[in-house]
Structure 1
Amino acid sequence: MNRLRELRKKKKYTLDDIEAKTGIKRGTYNNYESGKKEPKPSTWQKLANFFNVSIPYIKGYMICTRCKGYFIPENDVIREQIECCPYCMNPYFEGDK
């Protein structure tokens, strides 16, 4: 699942705020958040720029801070269950605090 809702809530934006700041209609954005619709590549880029994150990160990928490799975790796996990058064994991912 993508991180659109998580990023919006972290910035304390409403759907109306997103529409005003990006020009993406609130219903369309809501469909992106819920996974009912997939944004076009140009829209992914616009949203990544808006939230100041990479496209793989906003799409929900785990991104290694060392090798920059990325992968999509299994649906039933939570971040805390992933001990390290499967490529370089680094334990830290983009977005970790």
Structure 2
Amino acid sequence: MNRIKELRQKNNLTLRGLGQKVDLSKGAISRYENGVRKPKPGTWQALADFFNVSVPYLKGYMVCTRCKGYFIPEDDAVRENIECCPYCMNPYFEGDK
């Protein structure tokens, strides 16, 4: 699942407030947060720029701070239990630790 809602709440923004900042309706933001619809590439980038994160991170991927590789954990995986990047074995992920 993407991190739009998590970042919106962390920044104390309402659906309407975020929508006004990135020129989207609160309904569109809600559908994106709930996975009903997926943002277009330009919208992903606008949201990532607003929150100052990478698009892969915003999409819910784990992003390695060393190699910048990214992957989506398995559905049943507990993010906190993933110890290192599968590509370079770095133990740190952008925003996760």
Q: Distance in 1 between matches of 2:92 and 2:7?
A: 19
Gaps of 5+ in 1: none
CA drift at 1:75: 1.1
User: 1:54 is matched with which residue?
Assistant: 54
Number of equivalenced pairs: 97
Q: Alpha carbon RMSD of aligned pairs, Å?
A: 0.8
Q: Which moved more, 1:82-91 or 1:14-23?
A: 14-23
Q: Distance in 2 between matches of 1:25 and 1:52?
A: 20
User: 1:85 is matched with which residue?
Assistant: 85
CA drift at 1:96: 3.2
Query: Match for 1:52: what amino acid?
Result: N
CA drift at 1:20: 1.6
CA drift at 1:22: 1.2
4+ long deviations beyond 3 Å: none
- In the superposition, the TM-score normalised over structure 2's length comes to 0.96
Q: Deviations over 1:35-66 (max 9, x none)?
A: 00010000001000011100000000000011
Q: Distance in 2 between matches of 1:77 and 1:5?
A: 20
User: 1:32 is matched with which residue?
Assistant: 32
Q: Distance in 1 between matches of 2:78 and 2:3?
A: 13
